[in-house]
Amino acid sequence: MILRRDSFPSRLHLRRDTLKLTISLHRLSLWTHRHHCRLSQIVKRRYQDHAIKMPISTQRLITRSMIFHHQYPMTTNSPPRCILQDTINLGNFLTLDEATILHQIHAAFQPELERLKNATAVEGTAEQRRANGTPDHPSPSQILYGTNYDEINRTLVGVLALRWILNNDYHRFTQGQPLDTKLTQSSFQWLHDLFFQGLTCSEDMFALILSMVINDLGKDPNLVTDFESLTHRSIPDQNHDAILLEAANVDMIPALRYLTEEKKQEVLKGLELGSELNAGQLAQAESVPFNLEGLYEMRGHLHAFELKFMEQILDVAAAAGHLDCRGAKNFIEPVHQAFKMVREVSLDIIDGKSNLRQGYDKVLTKRGNLLVRAGFRKLSVGADEDRALLRLLTMGRTTDKHQAELFSEAFQALEDPVKAQLVRGLNIDGNVNETAVLPYYMPAIMSKTLERTRDLSQEDRQRALTSLMKYLARVLATDPGDTRYTPDGQVPGIIIERNMSIVQEVIDSPAFKANPNFDALDVPDGHVLLRRRTSQSM
């Protein structure tokens, strides 16, 4: 029987039960966090089962009980603790002022933040970086260091975005977003519910913050050097997520020592998934279908997947934090819808309802449907040329008819052999006997190209995009023999990452607007992704 919203006695009983459970959580100091997490879940499920929206007051009760203070004495086997954990456990993470929270993060994760100083972001100009933060509203990096560091701002804006979501601060979260694609109130509520339901206890919240802080440590070039000095072995050229996983596995990330063994294994499981699958890359069709293969390993580890998914939402929400720290500028409505689709696709693959190609093509179809509603023609994933254009449109973060037409014109302007090469490259999955290429940072490069040519005519912008697509065709036309090594054992195809960030030097050059040509630019070195599975079907 479905309980109606106007059933006052049942509401009262639920609130009374919630209060009793909350009080019990505070009194039962001998219970572990695991028991506490289960009690919080019981309360939430009772509301879900009775089809009643949980009142804000009850959410706050659970949040405060969820993060109650440990009363256990420290033992010789206990992990170290930090003041941020105590703040979370006392229920103050969402209420303390931002500067206090930022200083607590600095105190807890100083070694990690020092590494982030060495990393830089691809998008944005020097002028935009300098303009980030004001004397009245300084950036997170300015609060801690008196100056702006790209990855520190991006990381900490992501942590602040967690507060905005859980505090239902829609205005702050959407600051800086364009009005025509601004995240809707209902979509923001979906985010709030996802995080509220997914963070079942204080350890979850701390683990999510920790995951945000360490997420981009692999971008520090010194991490590889330090790894080699410590282990006397090298890390094969990999993406920054894979480098982070290697470092974490040899205890080079001090932050992980804060976690219990159980929670550490969940975070490591997320790092393992992230080394092969990035939700943002899938949402933008930057990856290839076989990058989704890691989802098979999440069967039986659904909570670890949810924590990783929430981390990647925050990562994208803060992707422009080095340019504008006021809000989650990049997490606009089309991005949100793409992430919802990524979650749906991922869960379908984990549950065995879709294979990898079917799941991937759902993302492309979603983009195509969005553009049809905007007035662009319908494209089919069943036709190779249409599917290739859909990948380009998705990588280009295209949401309107005007930009879709611009991309289509640039695509059709390619010479036939070049277009055929590009179509072929964009339709390789990395399946058995295939070598697929992942053009790392390609969405950022497309965005930078569009920004750099914003003041040019439609014809000149199309010419710049055609030139970029011509270069991409060269990048995707990969012979397995040009890689530096072949992974040991039998693998179902090969995925090669090529870092497209070298293109930005050409785009930033004074001559680019007049002559957008990439012919003299070499193809980036190929890095073969190390994969932990040796056989799996699409």
Residues 33 and 167 in one domain: no
Q: Is residue 443 part of a domain?
A: no
Residues 89 and 48 in one domain: no
In eight-state DSSP terms, residue 352 is: T
Q: Report the pLDDT value the prediction gives residue 6, as an integer from 0 to 100.
A: 38
In eight-state DSSP terms, residue 526 is: E
How far, rounded to the nearest angstrom, does the alpha carbon of residue 174 sit from its chain's CA centroid? 18
Q: Report the pLDDT value the prediction gives residue 242, as an integer from 0 to 100.
A: 85
Residues 117 and 206 in one domain: yes
Q: How many CA atoms lie within 13 A of 403 on its CB side?
A: 20
* Strand-pair category, 494-499 with 526-528: antiparallel
SS3 content of the chain, % helix, strand, coil (to 5): 60, 5, 35
Give me 410's structure tokens: 């640039």
Each as own residue / partner, the long-range contacts of residues 385-392 (CB below 8 Å, 24 or more positions apart, any chain) are 385/419, 385/423, 387/361, 387/426, 387/427, 388/422, 388/423, 388/426, 388/427, 390/285, 390/364, 390/365, 391/285, 391/364, 391/426, 392/426, 392/469
Residues 50 and 93 in one domain: no
Residues 112 and 21 in one domain: no
Q: How far apart are CA 420 and CA 426, in angstroms?
A: 10
* Strand, helix or coil for residue 535: coil
Q: Is residue 529 part of a domain?
A: no
How far, rounded to the nearest angstrom, does the alpha carbon of residue 195 sit from its chain's CA centroid? 14
Give me 339's structure tokens: 């992430």
Q: How far apart are CA 46 and CA 52, in angstroms?
A: 9
Residues 294, 276 contacting (CB under 8 angstroms) = yes
Q: How far apart are CA 422 and CA 252, in angstroms?
A: 41
pLDDT band for position 65 (cuts 50, 70, 90): very low
Residue type, 506: V
**Residues 6 or more apart whose Cβ sits within 8 Å of residue 399:** 181, 334, 370, 371, 374
Average pLDDT over residues 331-353: 94
Q: Is residue 399 part of a domain?
A: no
Q: Is residue 297 part of a domain?
A: yes
| pLDDT tens per residue across span 392-450 | 999 999 999 999 999 999 999 999 999 999 999 999 998 877 899 999 999 999 999 99
Q: How far apart are CA 120 and CA 322, in angstroms?
A: 9
Residues 194 and 304 in one domain: yes
Residue type, 203: E
Given a cut of 90, is residue 235 above it in pLDDT? no
| pLDDT tens per residue across span 267-298 | 999 999 988 888 889 999 999 999 999 999 99
Given a cut of 90, is residue 196 above it in pLDDT? yes
Given a cut of 90, is residue 25 above it in pLDDT? no
Structural domain boundaries enclosing 238: 80-353
Q: How far apart are CA 447 and CA 342, in angstroms?
A: 21
Any idea how long the chain is? 538
Q: Report the pLDDT value the prediction gives residue 237, as an integer from 0 to 100.
A: 62
Given a cut of 60, is residue 225 above it in pLDDT? yes
Last residue of one domain, picked from the residues 353, 379, 403: 353
> For residues 174 and 44, which has the higher predicted lDDT (pLDDT)?
174
Give me 450's structure tokens: 């569009």
Residues 153 and 270 in one domain: yes
pLDDT band for position 364 (cuts 50, 70, 90): very high
Q: Is residue 112 part of a domain?
A: yes
**Residues 6 or more apart whose Cβ sits within 8 Å of residue 137:** 326
| pLDDT tens per residue across span 158-167 | 999 999 999 9
Given a cut of 60, is residue 134 above it in pLDDT? yes
Residues 27 and 94 in one domain: no
Given a cut of 60, is residue 266 above it in pLDDT? yes
> For residues 29 and 37, which has the higher predicted lDDT (pLDDT)?
37
192-203: b or e for each residue (b if 16 or more CB lie within 10 Å)? bebbbeebbbbb
* Strand, helix or coil for residue 498: strand
Q: How far apart are CA 230 and CA 101, in angstroms?
A: 33
Q: Report the pLDDT value the prediction gives residue 22, as an integer from 0 to 100.
A: 43
* Strand, helix or coil for residue 4: coil
Residues 462, 496 contacting (CB under 8 angstroms) = no
Last residue of one domain, picked from the residues 353, 382, 401: 353
Residues 58 and 32 in one domain: yes
Q: How far apart are CA 334 and CA 321, in angstroms?
A: 19
Q: Is residue 291 part of a domain?
A: yes
Last residue of one domain, picked from the residues 43, 66, 89: 66
Closest by alpha carbon to 49, among 14, 94, 6, 93? Answer: 14
When the pLDDT of each residue in the chain is averaged and rounded to a whole number, the result is: 85
Q: Report the pLDDT value the prediction gives residue 34, as an integer from 0 to 100.
A: 43
The secondary structure element, H or E, covering residue 497 is: strand 494-499
Residue 32 has phi, psi (to 5 degrees) of -85, 170
pLDDT band for position 77 (cuts 50, 70, 90): low
Q: Is residue 472 part of a domain?
A: no
| pLDDT tens per residue across span 473-509 | 999 996 544 444 445 445 557 889 899 999 999 999 9
Q: Is residue 154 part of a domain?
A: yes
Residues 35 and 93 in one domain: no
Residues 102 and 192 in one domain: yes
Q: Number of folded domains in the chain?
A: 2
Q: How far apart are CA 268 and CA 255, in angstroms?
A: 12
Residues 208 and 274 in one domain: yes
Q: How far apart are CA 121 and CA 504, in angstroms?
A: 11
pTM: 0.77
Average pLDDT over residues 528-533: 60
